Amino acid sequence: MSSVRQLLSPASVAVIGASSDPKKTAGRPIAYLEKNGYAGRIFPVNPKLTEINGIKCYASISALPEVPEVAIVLLGAERAHLAVKELSDLGVAAAIILASGYSETGEKGLVRQAQLLKAAGKMRLLGPNTIGLVNLTENIVLSASGALEMEHLKAGNIGVVSQSGGILGSLLSRATANGIGLSKLISTSNEVDLELSDFIDHLVDDPSTEVIALYIEAIRHADKFRAAALRAASVGKPLVAFKVGRSPAGAQAAVSHTGALAGSDRMYDALFKHTGVIRAQSFSDLLDISMSLSNQKKLLGKRVAILTSTGGAGTLISDALGVSGFETPPPDDLTAQALRALQTGEEAVLDRNPIDVTLAGLQPDLLRGAINLLLQSPSYDALVIVVGSSSIARPELMAGAIKDCLPLSEKPVLAYISPHAPQAGQLLTSYGVPSFAAAESIAASLLGMFHVQTWRAPVVRPSKLTLVNVSGTGNLNEFESKRLFEQFGLSCTREFVVSDASQAACVAAKMKGPVVLKILSSEVLHKSEVGGVAVGLDPLTVGPRLEQMKLDVQKVTGKPPEQFLVQDMVRGGTEMMMGMYKDPLGTAILLGMGGVAAELLQDTCMRMLPSTGGLSSVEALEMVKELKTWPLLNGYRGKPICDVDALVKALVTFSEMVQSLNEHLLEVEINPLFVLPKGLGVVAGDGIVVLS
């Protein structure tokens, strides 16, 4: 049996530093174990007590009558490591460390935490600074969370892993209050040993868990996370994650622009997208989306019927769904006709959506009839029912009627509780109709359900490694960067290096057509900002312009440039950019529209590089179309259609180059990349490469 499994379901538990006062943190674990009917053996350890609530208490770890499978250590940080050492020596499988005062407090704490890990030896650790775990499937509570004071914890099929102990309590109590059933909850907190992905892995194999909800502060082991998340996806267990820390991080000090455009929070987006994780945009969505997915009903399209007996709330739902891209079409003729036949009275308007059955709030039969018709209608993929104020005084009335209709359809049914009527919501949720108090949460949940049906794992392709001799380290200049690109098959502007005016004139004459003159330097990062770029030159003008440029640049940088580039002036193309962003989560490829306006408006998108190979062309095309400025490539307002095929191919090639160069590459960016009219390809106008 794995240590994680033992941790969640131990046959015996030692509680080190247990108190006999259940109001104290150190008194809670035993009180909660007992309250929830733990069937295994409990061994309290406390030299000052002989028994706790009838359970024999031991003076020390060495006095224990047997080796417990798991220990909860309730001692402070100054003594916890001593107990951990003893427990490890005894052969205990895993220990939960509640004490705070470790890495979360600064350097001293970090030292303590290392000491703790060392003391543990082969014994696995949960924590420190954790509130423990709760196994609702088997009623095993190894936690001190005050949320466990609640009655009627509801077992269900949602597993929770939280990097915060307080949040675990918050989720547990909120779920309980809303009739949402959970399977296991684990607070990993400081993650000195066992961490997020260990528990995801376990829950993927746990037959009681169908959905996994994650509260994330930082993913510490991205590769493990990636593997665990992809495994969850492969067995059809959705992962829903809320990640804190969305405020824009300080701009990275970097040579390319990609750093500022990407940012660490967007890397989480890219990682989640890559691994099929549904990102909850608000903390409350985390439970709401998980709850909706736990029913395992399938949302096969975006057409939603809204059934209401109160106009205003129906509008709220339809508004929120519209903003999120759902459709709320009116009923088809047959359905509308059948709805009318259900009802007497002229007031109800049944040929539009929301479908307003004015009296149904008090007439369960009418409600049942309308629900059945809408679920059978070929016009809808899901049904949202608005529960009105009758539910305050009579929560069972509508809830019961809705419940009766569920077995008749595989389509998702969700409820919006318009007044404050928690009982009605709890009832419905426990019947399998996820219930919500906010319209936005319904939209978020339906988006989550739709994601589960439509997300596909990235195609893993054999790594197409191009062997290239990379010489040198540090910043390559523009010329060197482009030659490197060319070795991978990316086309770049034709260009020549010159060092004086006469060479420039000579080269320009050979090149035919207007040329661009640039300084060539691996030090100057933004050439145009120092006056180091001139466009539209010919053999006559390029020489004098070079002399002028020498002076201009010297004025800004303090020394005259020694080399220049004379290159073809690209015309008629659409400017874009490609870049790479690396952080502990992985390596991502960024695509964006070029030009300063697009840069300010941050029209970019990102994809995580798979573990081997580059992006697929399907992914690359998806990226191109994700840009808001995509119409610029596609004939917008009389512009020529651009060579999107070549752009896609270049993006794939760029990603393969990044994969091939791997850790040799610190930064890489092509900016601008000119996308020429259809059939004419793409060409890199400038590039940055920083090698390690």
Scanning residues 98 to 127, which ones bind a second copy (CB under 8 A)? 99-101, 104-106, 108
* Structure-token pair, residue 595: 């030009």
Q: Which contiguous run of DSSP H or E holds residue 417? A: strand 413-417
> Which one of residues 388, 412, 672, 685 is an interface residue with a second copy (CB under 8 A)?
388
> Which C-beta is closer to a second copy: that of 347 or that of 663?
347
Q: Which residue type is seen at 456? A: R
Tell me the C-alpha distance between 154 and 144, whole Å.
18
Which of positions 553-582 make contact with a second copy (CB under 8 A)?
A: none
Which of positions 509-528 make contact with a second copy (CB under 8 A)?
A: 526, 528
- Judge whether 409 and 345 are in contact, CB under 8 Å: no
> Which C-beta is closer to a second copy: that of 394 or that of 678?
394
Report in angstroms how near the CB of residue 148 gets to a second copy at its nearest. 8
> Which one of residues 159, 169, 263, 573 is an interface residue with a second copy (CB under 8 A)?
169
Please write down the HEC assignment for all residues of 478-494: HHHHHHHHHHCCCCECC
Tell me the C-alpha distance between 328 and 350, whole Å.
13
Report in angstroms how near the CB of residue 566 gets to a second copy at its nearest. 22
Q: In whole angstroms, what separates CA 512 from the centre of its chain?
A: 51
Tell me which stretch binds a second copy (CB under 8 A): 316-324, 540-548, 611-619, 649-657.
316-324
Query: Is residue 638 a contact point for a second copy (CB under 8 A)?
Result: yes
> Which C-beta is closer to a second copy: that of 230 or that of 307?
307
DSSP string of 516-530, one letter each residue: EEEEE-SS-S-GGGG
- Judge whether 555 and 505 are in contact, CB under 8 Å: no
Binding mask 347-376 toward a second copy (x if CB under 8 A, else -) reads x-x--------x--x---------------
* Structure-token pair, residue 459: 């195609």
15-45 as b/e: b if 16+ CB within 10 A = bbbbbbebeeebbbbbbbbbbbebeeebbbb
Cβ-proximal residues to 454 (8 Å cutoff; 6+ apart), any chain:
none
Q: In whole angstroms, what separates CA 565 from the centre of its chain?
A: 43
- Judge whether 470 and 464 are in contact, CB under 8 Å: no
Query: Is residue 19 a contact point for a second copy (CB under 8 A)?
Result: no
Report in angstroms how near the CB of residue 42 gets to a second copy at its nearest. 22
Tell me which stretch binds a second copy (CB under 8 A): 82-90, 294-302, 307-315, 335-343.
307-315
CB atoms within 10 A of CB 264: 17
Binding mask 604-633 toward a second copy (x if CB under 8 A, else -) reads ------------------------xx-xx-
* Structure-token pair, residue 104: 């979360």
Which of positions 71-90 make contact with a second copy (CB under 8 A)?
A: 76-77
> Which C-beta is closer to a second copy: that of 61 or that of 553?
553
Which of positions 407-466 make contact with a second copy (CB under 8 A)?
A: 418-422, 437-440
Tell me which stretch binds a second copy (CB under 8 A): 31-39, 93-101, 560-568, 671-679.
93-101
Cβ-proximal residues to 405 (8 Å cutoff; 6+ apart), any chain:
368, 371, 372, 375, 413
Q: Which residue type is seen at 37? A: G
Quick one: which of 32, 66, 68, 71 has its CA closest to 52? 32
> Which C-beta is closer to a second copy: that of 445 or that of 655?
445
Report in angstroms how near the CB of residue 446 gets to a second copy at its nearest. 15
Which of positions 203-262 make contact with a second copy (CB under 8 A)?
A: 215, 217, 244-247
Query: Is residue 178 a contact point for a second copy (CB under 8 A)?
Result: yes
Which of positions 42-71 make contact with a second copy (CB under 8 A)?
A: none
> Which C-beta is closer to a second copy: that of 174 or that of 461?
174
Tell me the C-alpha distance between 279 and 424, whole Å.
28
> Which one of residues 3, 135, 164, 493 is an interface residue with a second copy (CB under 8 A)?
164
Tell me which stretch binds a second copy (CB under 8 A): 57-65, 298-306, 493-501, 591-599.
591-599
Report in angstroms how near the CB of residue 628 gets to a second copy at its nearest. 6
